[in-house]
Amino acid sequence: MSSNLSHLTTEQINMNTLEIDTLDSLSIIRLMNEEDAKVAAAVEKALPQIAKAIDLTVAQLKRNGRLIYVGAGTSGRLGVLDASECPPTFGTPPDLVTFTIAGGEHAFLKAVEGAEDHPSLGKEDLVKIDLKPEDIVVAISASGRTPYCIGALQYANDVGAATVSISCNQSAEMSSYAQVAIEVEVGPEVLVGSTRLKAGTAQKMILNMISTASMIRLGKTYQNLMVDMQATNIKLQDRAIRMVVKATGVSSAEAEAVLKTCNFHVKTAIVVIKTGTTVKKAQELLSESEGFVRKAIMNHQQKIR
């Protein structure tokens, strides 16, 4: 694995920001905003590969596998963040979308700089969580050559798991170890080599797409509502009521009353109201429809015709 990073786009000097240290606050952030505006266009070019990664993720999750993010530094922390948001947003089990980060979990708060330099540690961390062929490993690295990530991908390939790489350089070293290689070149950073900036933004956008689109494909939404959300506090219970109102057209009072009979399970409440069935029957319809609300309602309508 090459240690010469000078050829990487993420390590190049940004000619637009050479005088940034002479500017006032507004001028600095104008420059940053101009550079950030380039990120979405760069991600757009990689949409076909991102879609392939999503299809692969859905296939593995349907095999009862896990989505496992692997990374170091900022990239690893972004993986931790995306994984941690899935249970409250989509009602997933805590280990369905999970992560390994170079240096261990405490590296989320405090950098463990040398940990990313050892491919063996990437393998060891996947061994610790018992990687299986049904899983999918998504390795995240702005440079695309992080040894920790490459070691993880090599081991995942040996196990027979699905593999995806996300990098911010073209022809990234990491890409050759992944079944699906996502390369998003966002150009030189505002501060040379500070990949927590544009590269980090691009990676966050891609992770949002992978997790969100995968969960939509798995029936975790109805229309554009997060109907598998866990209503674990007052704010989320209020959101659950508003979702049921939007999905069914009933009053807030009726939505709340039905939700209480369903233990605030939004999917069940929507099916109860839309089909006029009992809670038990709504649960059966959802089970038969693999959790898809729209399909559960349509199946009930077909049965009563």
85 is catalytic: yes
69, containing H or E segment: strand 67-71
Looking at this protein, which amino acid is placed at residue 212? T
Q: What is the rounded CA–CA span in Å between residue 129 and residue 123?
A: 10
Catalytic residue selected from 11, 85, 134, 284: 85
Tokens matching residue 183: 């390369």
The 8-class DSSP code of residue 290 comes to: T
Q: Each residue of 257-269: b (16+ CB within 10 Å) or e?
A: ebbeebebbbbbb
Catalytic residue selected from 35, 116, 173, 185: 116
Closest of 10, 9, 7, 4 to residue 197, by C-alpha: 10
Cβ atoms 198, 37 nearer than 8 A = no
Show which residues are catalytic: 85, 116
